[in-house]
Amino acid sequence: MTKTIQLNTTERDPELWAIADSVVDPEIPVLTLVDLGVVRELKRMDKGVEVTITPTYTGCPAMDAMAADLKRAFEQKGFEPVTMKTVLSPAWTTDWLSDYAKEKLNKYGIAPPPNSTADKNALLGKPKEVKCPRCASNYTSMISNFGSTACKALWKCEDCKEPFDYFKCI
């Protein structure tokens, strides 16, 4: 199931989106800010460019770095001034991660968040399925809700006994 939210797909300016897609998450360097769904809109202005972003969650400590990196990327390509806009609504959810992005996360050793259907299992009292990124076992347990960064929780695989990060932003 592919559920990627793409705003203004038809109006996407390939040059602008390619620049944004070159900026990676400072904490998860395999994902670009476009993969993450953080970049919402890119608009060419009379002069420069307007960049609209939605934080992964309010107060995410990496957001300032992401915004600064994006601004710099456009400036380096000659876009000036770069106007940064932040839109909080609709709020970012992990559903905005593309399947491709989830696959990249998994290869990087971070368990991607389950899709909404899997989350509904939690509402029905079933445990959340978090797959070990190394051996794909579902026999996993949470060690700590706070991993190496605020966006990750620390989990452990009971089969291969390896700890791994779980991308937990909702």
Choose one: 15-23, 74-82, 95-103, 157-165; the region binding Zn ion (CB under 5 A). 157-165
The reply on whether position 148 binds Zn ion by CB under 5 A is no
C-alpha distances out from residue 151 to 16, 58, 85, 112, 134, Å: 27, 11, 22, 11, 20
Count Cα atoms within 13 angstroms, Cβ side, for 26: 14
- Sequence letter at residue 167: F
Task: Select the residue interacting with Zn ion from 38, 130, 132, 151 (CB under 5 A).
Answer: 132
Rounded to 10 degrees, what is the CA torsion of 139, 122, 105, 144?
Answer: -70
Task: Select the residue interacting with Zn ion from 104, 157, 165, 168 (CB under 5 A).
Answer: 157
Residue 3, C-beta contacts closer than 8 angstroms, at least 6 positions apart: 95, 115, 116
Choose one: 16-24, 98-106, 120-128, 137-145; the region binding Zn ion (CB under 5 A). 137-145
Choose one: 68-76, 101-109, 127-135, 148-156; the region binding Zn ion (CB under 5 A). 127-135
The reply on whether position 154 binds Zn ion by CB under 5 A is no
The reply on whether position 43 binds Zn ion by CB under 5 A is no
The percent of the chain in helix, strand and coil, each rounded to the nearest 5, is 30, 20, 50
The reply on whether position 134 binds Zn ion by CB under 5 A is yes
Q: Are strands 49-53 and 82-86 parallel, antiparallel or unpaired?
A: parallel
Q: Mark residues 83-122: x for contact with Zn ion by CB under 5 A, - for none.
A: ----------------------------------------
Distance CA 50, CA 96 (A): 21
The reply on whether position 138 binds Zn ion by CB under 5 A is no
Give residues in contact with Zn ion (CB under 5 A). 132, 134-135, 137, 157, 159-160
